[in-house]
């Protein structure tokens, strides 16, 4: 089982987006030194809480800051973009960092509907829901496999990073994403931190998987909300920041990441939000967290776990990943 990192570039209350971006570079170097396999960054727009609005830009800096760890998007929200533009951007990254770049794709807006509409170039009407067509065109550029009579076929050879290309992944938390990943033959990452009842999606993906030029056999990763600390109590204290943040998001408000002290006081005054809104949170001491990760991976039948958290304190976030790495040991991470 491989272990990897998903970074949403959280902005702590009182800090700037620039600080959050610098923290991402710091955490990527740390994850590489610890032996994690991949380091992915997310895409969110119009958020005071998360600074990762342009994964392709952040990945260029992450590639320069690291040497061996795979870097990628978790993910690029394809409905916002021209498939050619995504192909060019990630071809360029693959050329800069050969053999290290993953292109994880999603169809969620990564924002509210107003922000998603603001991202559109043509605002005369809502963008069409044509993700499968976008995906096919993007794969056609990267694989130089568009039909001979396609009007854009010649553009595939102009991608700037050739012969290097990114490894393409499909991300999701719904039956549609599982079906598309299986049909096209792509590796699939199930966002358990969004939908903790996603194990049937992984099973459907494996059942329906079709061998492709991308992948000979199904490969599943699950992204898990994970907070490790020296004690269970400390892990729960650290996790309170994200609980308050998520509660506000569910109420239609996005806020910077609050301190645990602020979060605990707010949650005490609002006990109806003290739970996890049905989402799995693996939080505790290193042994407890390892057991939780192993149980989730077994539930999904996954080959890889990608760990994500949002903490107020950058040092605590760094330590969380250190404790998980120590709990599994170098042999496990090198698998």
CATH 3.20.20.30 fits 2-227+281-333, yes or no: yes
pLDDT tens by residue, 253-293: 999 999 999 999 999 998 887 665 568 999 999 999 999 99
In percent, the amount of the chain with pLDDT more than 70 equals 96
- In angstroms, the Cα distances linking 129 to 81, 125, 175, 189, 308 are 12, 12, 16, 21, 28
Give CA–CA dist 234/283, Å, rounded.
9
- Closest listed residue to residue 12, CA positions, set 227, 224, 241, 194: 241
Q: Between β-strands 220-228 and 282-284, what pairing exists: parallel, antiparallel or unpaired?
A: parallel
- What's the angle, vertex CA 310, arms to CA 250 and CA 112, rounded to 5? 35
Residue 194, class by beta-carbon neighbours within 10 Å (0-12 exposed, 13-18 middle, 19+ buried)?
A: middle
Q: What is the pTM of this model?
A: 0.94
Model pLDDT for residues 111-129, shown as the tens digit of each residue: 778 888 788 878 788 777 8
- Residue 318's pLDDT band, with cuts at 50, 70 and 90, is very high
Q: Is it the case that residue 201 has pLDDT exceeding 70? A: yes
Flag whether pLDDT at 302 surpasses 80.
yes
Alpha-carbon torsion (30, 61, 258, 221), positive or negative: negative
What is the distance in angstroms between the CA of the first residue and the CA of the last residue of the chain? 6
Instruction: Answer yes or no: are the C-beta atoms of 297 and 243 closer than 8 Å.
Output: no
């Amino acid at each position: 089982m491989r272990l990897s990192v998903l970074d949403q570039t959280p902005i702590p209350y009182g800090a700037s987006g620039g600080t959050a971006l610098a923290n991402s570079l710091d955490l990527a170097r740390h994850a590489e030194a610890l032996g994690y396999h991949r380091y992915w960054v997310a895409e969110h727009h119009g958020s005071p809480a998360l600074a990762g609005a342009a994964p392709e830009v952040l990945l260029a800096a992450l590639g320069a800051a690291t040497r061996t760890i795979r870097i990628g998007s978790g993910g690029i929200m394809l409905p916002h973009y021209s498939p050619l533009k995504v192909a060019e951007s990630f071809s360029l990254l693959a050329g800069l960092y050969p053999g290290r770049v993953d292109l994880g794709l999603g169809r969620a807006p990564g924002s509210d509907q107003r922000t998603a509409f603001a991202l559109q170039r043509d605002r005369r009407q809502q963008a069409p829901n044509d993700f499968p067509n976008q995906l096919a065109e993007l794969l056609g550029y990267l694989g130089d496999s568009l039909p001979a009579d396609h009007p854009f076929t010649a553009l595939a050879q102009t991608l700037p990073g050739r012969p290097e290309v990114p490894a393409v992944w499909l991300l999701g938390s719904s039956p549609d994403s599982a079906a598309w990943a299986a049909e096209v033959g792509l590796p699939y990452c199930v966002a358990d931190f969004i939908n903790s009842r996603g194990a049937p999606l992984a099973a459907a993906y494996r059942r329906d998987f079709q061998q492709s030029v991308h992948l000979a056999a199904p490969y599943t990763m699950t992204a898990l909300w994970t907070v490790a600390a020296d004690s269970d109590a400390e892990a729960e204290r650290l996790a309170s920041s994200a609980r308050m943040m998520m509660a506000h998001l569910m109420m239609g408000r996005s806020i910077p990441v609050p301190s645990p002290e602020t979060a605990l006081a707010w949650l005490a005054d609002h006990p109806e939000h003290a739970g996890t809104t049905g989402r799995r949170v693996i939080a505790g001491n290193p042994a407890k967290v390892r057991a939780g990760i192993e149980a989730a991976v077994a539930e999904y039948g996954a080959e890889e776990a990608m760990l994500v958290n949002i903490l107020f304190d950058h040092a605590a976030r760094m330590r969380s990943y250190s404790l998980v790495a120590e709990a599994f040991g170098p042999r496990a991470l090198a698998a």
